[in-house]
Amino acid sequence: MLAKNQNPSTGEPSFSVDVQFVRALESGDLPAPGALTLEEAGLSPAQLVEMFESQVLSRQLDLHSRRLQARGESFYTIGSSGHEGNAAVAAALRLGDPAFLHYRSGAFFIQRSRQLPGSTPTWDLLLSFCASSEDPIAGGRHKVFGSRALNVPPQTSTIASQLPKAVGAAHSLGLARRLGVAGPWPSDSVILCSFGDASFNHSTAQGAINAAAWTAFQGLPMPLVFLCEDNGLGISVPTPPGWIENSMRARAGIEYLACNGLDPLDTYRAASRAAAIARRQKKPVFLHLRCVRLLGHAGADAQQAYLSAEQIAAAERDDPLLHGAARLLHLGLLSADEVLNLYRDTGARVRAVAEEAIKRPKLLRADEVMASIVPPPRTSRAVAAALPPDDGQPKPMGRLLNQALDRMLLRYPHMFLAGEDVGRKGGVYGVTQRLQARHGAHRVIDTLLDEQSILGLGIGAAHNGLLPVVEIQFLAYLHNAEDQLRGEAATLPFFSQGQFTNPMVVRIAGLAYQRGFGGHFHNDNAIAVLRDIPGLPVACPSNGADAVGLLQEALRLADEEQRVVVLIEPIALYHQRDLRAAGDDGACSVDPGPDFRIPVGRFGRHGDGRDLALVSYGNGAYLCRQAWPALEAAGIRPRLIDLRWLTGLDHDALHAELADCARILVVDECRRSGSLSEELLANLAERGIESARLRRLTAQDSFIPLGRAATATLPSAAGIVAAATAWCRS
């Protein structure tokens, strides 16, 4: 809240919380210090002073970010004011303890920086506020707390979507030990994940907390500290008093601890205990830190609209800096004048550094912005291994995928599979059958039924150097967890300039054409949500050999290029043996071997006909092959382009393959609106192919019903023949 007066020493607008802090120090009107002693808290005098210095720096950075925003020089004003008690949490943890921080963790980040000599948090954070391309973590793409050297992966979440991957990271510590794989974090690390009381209520947070408890309840290692910083507000909506404590105090599998986040001694003592429990007992701890929110939610938030003047003033009287100053004065560590000098000198230093930071370069060009979407390559961790032989017989897609996963688990010692029912049952469709018996329950992991937690497990484990292959049981089940891919996994290299990555393969059983089962929830043909995520390769095979080649390339991309890759596996083709007649085994393939891979963008071509080019993928390509004899009988010489990859398409190469065809029919099993067919036709038209030569046959804009009507809205082999013959005869 801006005061009416200007700061007489700087001429800049003053904030009420700034004025009140100085006034309280000058008048001696400070909160009464608590009874806890330094010895009882486990702190030295020097540590307490250092923590207070971190809190003061965090506050001055908050204040000056808003002043810079008024000048058009700062672009992010969600601050940490009122939450500075988290500096004590940082002091209680080790540098090697990864910290997934939310946006009010400025004091934590500054205090963590003190554990690494040579750190420059003031300069780094001001570059971030100013969106400078020299910002060492995000390069001007966003204001985030992050540092590779400090083990702080950047988080951009406002809805606690970092919690699932924090759970995955905690689980990965024990898993890496069992696999004998050395990750970037010490094996006795503790994972710290901070979030607010409003975010606690989000389904993502609740799912992650439940997943951690579910895991720990079974005696599995989960060295994790959930830090809930409770300021009592979700922007303007108050959190019911007692809600957080009553929700968590008796939660099975999780230790609940609470502290007064305004008191650095109480916070440090509680945080030290939380870290000790998580580190020694390998169990999750919920640390409930009570604090206040000062300065409103962000610079644009006028909290006077929903808080009374009395409520705002009460929060300012509970300023954690005032509580910290009271402690220092009571212990005789600093005088009031020394505290004021520290506060003012810190502010002056922030101002001086800011004037240099705002002059630093900014991102200006699209190629600069996009440079970090794709992460940098790394050395493969594959090993030479004795792989099981194949009998050389043609097999359906599901069987070939099973064989490929079996041998890839041998080739990649840091790889594991995870998902609902993938272990003992072997997957709903048997694709992972017998793999758990061969490789162990730690490498083929049966998870709880929560897609957000499954993806979070993969993201967090990939942070720690493992190679996760996670399965989403049905495509329809992805949609309640898609932000884990869109907002977390795919953005991590972008917001860290490739310093942090979470390479993994996501297998999704999906698409339609299942016979007599499921309806829409098991026959989902909506893939648009995956295709528009920048930098996310998405593949979809139409036959077993291609499925092997795409899976093995996906694993190479994850292992060597640190990519997140999605493989959509058509359920209807898992066990399909026949193509055109019973017993013809035309849908079966011979295993192409462990070294066969299909690079991103490389499509398959079948036939050389020039009358009609069919362009499709997945079930659509299978249907085109079914339609082939009827097309030839009608005098049409066809050609089939099987796309195989649904993103990263080489449109120039595709145009070259199709330019000599009289007609081009795109067969797309997904819905007419938002399907791949739109992109294909637009790019062919842009490259000069006349619209009269282009048509598409797609699914209708409909959900898929149950029973005999299940394929009524979808393309069919007969429909392809009818559309093609009518067009070619016109």
pLDDT in tens, 571-620: 999 999 999 989 998 899 999 999 999 999 999 999 999 999 999 999 99
Indicate if the pLDDT at residue 8 is higher than 60. no
What's residue 516's pLDDT? 63
> What is d(CA 592, CA 115) in angstroms, rounded to the nearest whole number?
52
Residues in CB range of 310: below 8 A, 6 or more apart? none
Which tokens in the block code for residue 272? Answer: 């030290």
Residue 678, number of CB atoms within 10 A of its CB: 17
Please give the Cα distance from 100 to 227 (Å, whole number). 10
Whether residue 494 is predicted with pLDDT greater than 60 in this model: the reply is: yes
Secondary structure class of 716 (helix, strand, coil):
coil
> Buried b / exposed e across 354-372, counting CB within 10 Å, b at 16+?
beebbebeebeeeeeeebb
- 19-362 shares its CATH topology with 397-573: yes
Residue 670: pLDDT over 70: yes
Q: What is the distance, to the nearest Å, from the Cα of residue 138 to the centroid of all Cα atoms in its chain? A: 15
Task: For domain 604-729, say whether CATH 3.40.50.920 is its number.
Answer: yes
Structure tokens at 366: 């699209």
Q: What residue spans define the domains of the chain?
A: 19-362, 397-573, 604-729
Task: List the single range of 32-36, 116-120, 319-323 with lowest mean pLDDT.
Answer: 32-36
Is pLDDT above 90 for 706? no
- Quick one: average pLDDT of 401-417? 97
Residue 522 has pLDDT above 90, yes or no: no
Which are the contacts of 627, defined by CB distance < 8 A and separation ≥ 6?
614, 717, 718, 720, 721, 724
Residue 7 — very low, low, confident or very high, per pLDDT cuts 50/70/90? Answer: low
b vs e for 595-610, b when ≥16 Cβ sit within 10 Å of the residue's Cβ?
Answer: eebbebbebbeebebe
Please, which pLDDT band fits residue 730 given cuts at 50, 70 and 90?
A: confident
- CATH, domain range 397-573: 3.40.50.970
- Catalytic residue numbers read 522
pLDDT tens track for 343-385:
999 999 999 999 999 999 999 999 999 999 999 999 999 999 8
Mean pLDDT of the region 242-255: 95
Q: How many CB atoms lie within 10 A of CB 399?
A: 21
Choose the weakest-confidence range: 47-61, 323-337, 704-718: 704-718
Give the angle subtended at the CA of 171 by the CAs of 268 and 159, to the nearest 5°.
65
Look at the alpha carbons of 497, 500, 501, 502 in this order and tell me if their dihedral is positive or negative. Answer: negative
Decide if pLDDT at 4 tops 60.
Answer: no
Closest CA to 500 of 64, 53, 155, 79: 155
Question: What is the rounded distance in angstroms from the CA atom of residue 459 to the CA atom of residue 382?
Answer: 20
Torsion of CA 686, 624, 674, 486, to 10 degrees: -100
Specify the pLDDT at position 2. 40
Q: Is the pLDDT higher at 695 or at 513?
A: 695
What whole-number distance in Å separates Cα of residue 347 and Cα of residue 261?
A: 23
CATH number for region 19-362: 3.40.50.970
Whether the per-residue pLDDT at 488 is higher than 60: the answer is yes
Q: What is the pLDDT of residues 171-205, one digit of tens each?
A: 999 999 999 998 899 999 999 999 999 999 999 99
Q: Pick the residue with more confidence: 461 or 2?
A: 461
CB 44 within 8 A of CB 327: no
Exposure string for 309-345, b = 16+ CB within 10 A, e = fewer: eeebeebbebbbbbbbbbbbbeeebbebeebbebbee
CA–CA distance, 420 with 477 (Å, rounded to integer): 11
Output the pTM of the full model: 0.94
* Confidence at residue 12, expressed as pLDDT on a 0 to 100 scale: 65
Identify the band that residue 3 occupies on the pLDDT scale cut at 50, 70 and 90: very low
What percent of the chain has pLDDT above 70?
A: 98
**CA of 323: how far to CAs of 143, 261, 311, 327, 387, in Å?**
28, 10, 18, 6, 64
CB 637 within 8 A of CB 610: yes
Kindly report which listed range (12-16, 151-155, 630-634) carries the lowest average pLDDT score.
12-16
Query: What pLDDT was estimated at residue 10?
Result: 57
Rounded Cα–Cα distance for residues 400 and 395 (Å): 6
Q: What is the pLDDT of residue 307?
A: 87
- pLDDT at residue 286, rounded to an integer: 98
CA distance 131 to 183: 31
Q: Write out 369-417 in H/E/C secondary structure.
A: HHCCCCCCCCCCCCCCCCCCCCCCCCECHHHHHHHHHHHHHHHCCCEEE
Which residue type sits at 538? V
